[in-house]
Amino acid sequence: MAQYVADTDADRLSADADWDVLYVDGETERGERAALEVDDPTTEEVFATVPAATEDDVNAAYERAAEAGSEWAERPPQARAAVIEDAIGIVEGHRETMLDLLATEAGSALVKGNAELDTAVGMMREAASFPTRVGGTVKDSIVPGKENLVKREPAGVVGVISPWNFPFHLSMRAVAPALALGNGVVLKPASTTPITGGLLLARIFEAAGLPEGLLNVVPGHGSEIGDRMAGHPEADVIAFTGSTAVGKRVAGRAVEHLAYPAMELGGNNPHVVLDDADLDRAVDSAVFGTFLHQGQVCISINRHLVHESLYDEYVERLADRAADLTVGDPHDPDTVIGPIIDDDQRDQMMAYVEETVEQGATVETGGDHDGRFVQPTVLSGATNDMSAACNEHFGPVAPVIPFSDDGEAIELANAVDQGLAASVHSTDRERAEAVADRIDAGMVHVNDQPINDEPHVPFGGVKDSGIGRFNDEYVMEEMTRTKWVSVQREEREYPF
């Protein structure tokens, strides 16, 4: 592992590096392709340009991934694991460079950047175990003298379409397992984070010794190459993370040619505080679960559902804590709230706040912005149907909604189309688990907040929040296919 870290030039992984290349069967110069400008959300200035891939590039990427994948699948499992392990060494050896790049491209404050790298490395470590864990079973037969072998093989080619909010981790959680399991990969990162979500991974795996053609990266606008990316006939799995509306379109394109759609979509996540909750713990977790990465997290708290007996004190404490959070340059180690990724995202969340106030809520703190820096905002007197509550606002915004009993809390929690994550606070564990069991979400956390992701635990939602699960054996199943081989050991008697 150490040799790859030593041989990897940190300058090739930095924000100042030349990123004006594609990775299709190895590095490809931009040539006649249009430039995709990448701006720093803090300064709002362009710091890099990358190629805008064309549909022809997507075609070439899939064709090369299919060709390279068939050879890669034949490699010994230890060889595939070694590449993942060497990639881990590169990430860990160049952490500071990557933290700076995440801050520059994605507006990631250091606390978020460190959490993202830790989670990505955890997933990579889990993936490194996959080549020797994946296997088949032997099943008894109803036919005398026969044995049934159930084998697991690589799916083929995995197309990955990743988002901008946790670009490195949410790309890596699909790319590393897909490669470890013997697949070729085509990765389309978000157009706002094409480096940390795409080209950076290509350079890391290139340095780790991954054969050319196995990981192909095609940056570009979804409106231009998204349909081809999702609907390419060489794709056997499409792993998508993003909004529900876009995810439905992507899934539709995938299933047209019977590719498996692994979808992690939007959330509207409730933080339920029952009347016997430890208020200190409930507020502590709420601050983290609401304001990490400016609330730009699919599993962040979207609605605070608080029992009426604790409501006023909860609102006061949450507003006081929110007002004390440091807003500023994500490169500053004291910063908690960095910039929103772009103007459209900021304008949408501010519109939700304004509409919610017009609908009768009160701004307890925040409610304004300076450029792309949105103040941490707490809204009291909110209801479930107000704009900042019924929509996934994806910002540092906390609408607080009162309820009278556990039944009403559950009803409010479930009264949305999404079912990704939730949290419940109570000093009575059995009561909290009973409420958790009745909340329609793929992940529910008791006496915590919803921003949790562990590489050995299934991650995913229900309802409009997705299809399938990432992590551990669950992603292994999605990125492989089963094959039944029967062996008739003894002569068989047939009826005719």
What residues are annotated to the active site?
264, 298
User: According to DSSP H, which parts of 324-449 are helical?
Assistant: 343-358, 387-390, 406-414, 429-438
Handedness of CA 159, 165, 170, 171 (dihedral sign): positive
* Amino acid code (one letter) for 369: H
At a CB cut-off of 8 Å and minimum separation 6, what does 391 contact? 268, 352
Helix (H, G, I), strand (E, B) or coil at 392: coil
> Which residues, other chains included, contact 161 with Cβ-Cβ below 8 Å and sequence gap of 6+?
188, 222, 226, 229, 230, 238, 239, 240, 241, 242, 250
Task: Give CA angle at 371 (369, 375), nearest 5°.
Answer: 25
Which residues are within 8 A (CB) of 476 and not within 5 positions of it... i.e. 6 or more apart?
130, 133, 134, 152, 177, 181
* Pairs from 249-254 (Cβ < 8 Å, separation ≥ 24): 250/161, 250/226, 251/467, 253/227, 254/230
Residue with tokens 């956390």: 445
Nearest Cα neighbor of 280 from 104, 447, 66 is: 447
Give CA angle at 86 (80, 88), nearest 5°: 110
For 297, phi then psi, to 5°, come to: -140, 130
Q: Give the residue from 220, 216, 173 showing the smallest Cα distance to 50.
A: 220
Q: What does residue 462 show for φ and ψ, rounded to 5 degrees?
A: -125, 180
* Distance between first and last Cα of the chain: 61
